[in-house]
Amino acid sequence: MTPPLLPFHRPTPLPARLVRLARVAAHVVGGLSTTVFVFPWIGPPKKQALIRKWSRQLLQMLRVEPRVLWRHDSGIPGNVLIVANHISWLDIFVLDAL
Q: What is the pTM of this model?
A: 0.72
pLDDT of the residue at 15: 92
Name the residue among 25, 45, 47 with its Cα closest to residue 36: 47
- What is the average pLDDT across 75-88? 71
pLDDT category of residue 3 using cuts at 50, 70 and 90:
low
Over pLDDT 70: what percentage of the chain?
81
CB 97 within 8 A of CB 66: yes
Task: Transcribe 62-74 into DSSP letters.
Answer: TT-----S---TT
Helices 44-61 and 14-37 cross at an angle (nearest 10°) of: 170
pLDDT category of residue 4 using cuts at 50, 70 and 90:
low
- What is the average pLDDT across 73-85? 70
Distances (CA, A) of 78 to 50, 58, 81: 20, 27, 9
